[in-house]
Amino acid sequence: MTNNPSRKSRLKLFLVGFQLFIATLVGYIPSHWFRRAFYRHILRMKIGTGTSIHWQARFFKPSGISIGDDCVIGNNNFLDGRSGIVIGNRVVTSAEVMILTLQHDIDSPDFRAEGGPVIIEDYVFLGARVLILPNVRIGYGAVVGAGSVVTSDVPPYAVVGGVPARFIRERNHDLDYHPNFAMPFQ
């Protein structure tokens, strides 16, 4: 028996793909205000006040993404909201960060998808090209170094790095900043 999707499921898949295509195009519009309004009102992302999403961001299931106040999402980030992403307040992500909430089980006979939510607490900094895998919590004030792959939870105030990310040291606990890097035309 072949797996032949119905016309209705093909149409639904087409519409989801088209929505993501439009969201990708909106990511090239050089206006933080316009992109934020589109992501909030059309894609139903929860985005706090003072938050900017830099250009060329891409998404899976944007309605599954919640971003707090005063955050900066760097250019070319990829956020996979299929199992849920919760980003706290005053979080900064550098360029080309990927946050995944689903992955395939390579040992499963049917190659099934599995995963879970990613939770990023307040005052976290993610360096350039960080990859966060499903079912991960990054604790309050933690820092993930550039190029790291996060496969397990990161404790509060920890500075981690590497592949897979490992503890390097503890960060200063006195954090009180309001990131605002909404450069024009970005």
Q: Is the dihedral angle over the CA atoms 107, 131, 89, 166 positive or is it negative?
A: positive
Query: In the chain, where does DSSP find H-type helix?
Result: 7-26, 32-41
126 DSSP β-pair partners = 93, 144
CA–CA separation, 51 and 71 (whole Å): 5
User: Which are the catalytic amino acids?
Assistant: 104
| Angle, helix 32-41 to helix 7-26, in steps of 10 degrees | 160
Q: What would the two tokens of residue 101 be?
A: 């909430």
What does the buried/exposed string (b/e) look like for 114-140 if buried means 16 or more CB atoms within 10 Å of the residue's CB? ebebbbbbbbbbbbeebbbbbbbbbbb
Phi-psi region of 157 (alpha: psi -120 to 50; beta: other; left: phi over 0): left
